[in-house]
């Protein structure tokens, strides 16, 4: 099992330079992955600093050489497929093939209804599926013609060519996020390269085992497929190795350490330094 950290793209004094420092710190401490949330607004009354995760991850890519980078998760229905193709390919090539794209259909009305985006959750799911299929084709670097219900990349005697393709083959790995237990997100995830299950409350070993069983049922074979489970562990907790091993035995391939200001076990002080301290402690 590999170990990643997941951090908000917002917080007091958080900027792209801080994100780059966090990523460098995480790599030096032995983490395998560094992932940012993708939100437009902070989860509290402002003003609170918010950074664009893609620009911040570009800074992180320039500050690191080994650690895997990505978003957990990007709500694709509020982004344009051709723009996402350009951004992901650019970052994948800049990082030397270290990008993972986490995706979801999104939540919270202040990032959808209140800013004029699609408010219906089922429609966003349809948009997500169409977006992913189109993005996968755009990543080939070959001519693409697409005229779908929600997206278009076609014109008279014209096809979209997003060249060059990503450095990774056959594509940038796609992990699909979804609330557990659920149906549609996990059926969707089975078609791609990994799943990022979420739930309200603690994530238990039994949940990991249930997700692994569901993915095995849907895919038939989990070879090359990632199950990235959420969790919280203390860098000074001697028992964390047993916790990690239990999830690995249950089917997890990644432990994603959630590092955020709402953790009650982290010091209640300057968030930038608190987060850095947890990263320095390693997995």
Summarised one tens digit per residue, pLDDT across range 88-105 is 999 999 999 999 999 999
Q: Is the residue at 148 inside a domain? A: yes
Confidence of residue 200 (pLDDT cuts 50, 70, 90): confident
Sign (positive or negative) of CA dihedral 62, 48, 84, 100:
positive
Judge contact between 227 and 252, C-beta under 8 A.
yes
Q: Is the residue at 177 inside a domain? A: no
Q: What is the pLDDT of residue 60?
A: 98
Mean pLDDT, residues 200-223? 95
Q: What is the DSSP letter of 256?
A: E
Whole-number Å distance between alpha carbons of 163 and 272: 38
The answer, yes or no, to whether residue 46 has pLDDT greater than 90, is no
Q: Is the residue at 97 inside a domain? A: yes
The answer, yes or no, to whether residue 236 has pLDDT greater than 80, is no
On average, the pLDDT of the chain sits at: 95
Q: Is the residue at 270 inside a domain? A: no
The number of CA neighbours under 13 Å toward the Cβ of 16 is 12
CA distances from 243 to 60, 212, 237, 277 (A): 29, 17, 10, 21
Mean pLDDT, residues 237-258? 92
How many structural domains does the chain have? 1
Whole-number Å distance between alpha carbons of 272 and 11: 8
Containing structural domain, residue 79: 69-169
> By 3-state DSSP, what share of the chain in percent is helix, strand and coil, each rounded to 5?
40, 20, 40
Q: Is the residue at 261 inside a domain? A: no
The pLDDT tens digits for 107-150 are 988 899 999 889 999 999 999 999 999 999 999 999 999 999 99
pTM for this one? 0.96
The answer, yes or no, to whether residue 269 has pLDDT greater than 90, is no
Mean pLDDT, residues 58-63? 98
Q: What is the pLDDT of residue 45?
A: 84
Judge contact between 66 and 27, C-beta under 8 A.
yes
Q: Is the residue at 129 inside a domain? A: yes
- The CA-based angle 60-65-71, given to 5 degrees, is 40
């Amino acid at each position: 099992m590999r170990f990643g950290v997941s951090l908000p793209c917002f917080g007091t004094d958080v900027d792209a330079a801080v994100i780059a420092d966090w990523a460098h710190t995480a790599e030096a401490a032995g983490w395998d992955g560094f992932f940012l949330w993708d939100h437009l607004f902070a989860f509290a009354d402002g003003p609170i600093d918010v950074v664009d995760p893609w620009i911040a991850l570009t800074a992180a890519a320039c500050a690191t050489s080994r650690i895997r980078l990505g978003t957990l998760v990007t709500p694709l229905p509020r982004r344009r497929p051709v723009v996402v193709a350009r951004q992901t390919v650019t970052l994948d090539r800049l990082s030397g093939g270290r990008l993972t794209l986490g995706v979801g259909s999104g939540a919270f009305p202040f990032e959808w209804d209140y800013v004029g985006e699609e408010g219906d959750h089922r429609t966003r799911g349809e948009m997500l599926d169409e977006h992913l299929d189109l993005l996968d084709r755009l990543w080939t670097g070959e001519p693409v013609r697409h005229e779908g219900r929600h997206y278009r990349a076609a014109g008279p005697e014209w096809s979209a060519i997003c060249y060059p393709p990503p450095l990774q083959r056959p594509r940038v790995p796609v992990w699909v996020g979804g609330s557990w237990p659920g149906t549609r997100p996990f059926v969707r995830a089975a078609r791609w390269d990994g799943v990022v299950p979420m739930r309200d409350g603690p994530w238990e070993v039994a949940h990991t085992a249930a997700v692994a069983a569901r993915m095995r049922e849907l895919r038939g074979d989990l070879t090359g497929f990632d199950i990235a489970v959420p969790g919280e562990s203390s860098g000074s907790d001697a028992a964390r190795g047993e916790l990690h091993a239990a999830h690995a035995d249950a089917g997890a391939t990644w432990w994603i350490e959630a590092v955020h200001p709402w953790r009650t076990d982290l010091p209640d002080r300057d968030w930038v330094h608190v987060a850095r301290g947890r990263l320095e402690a390693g997995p």
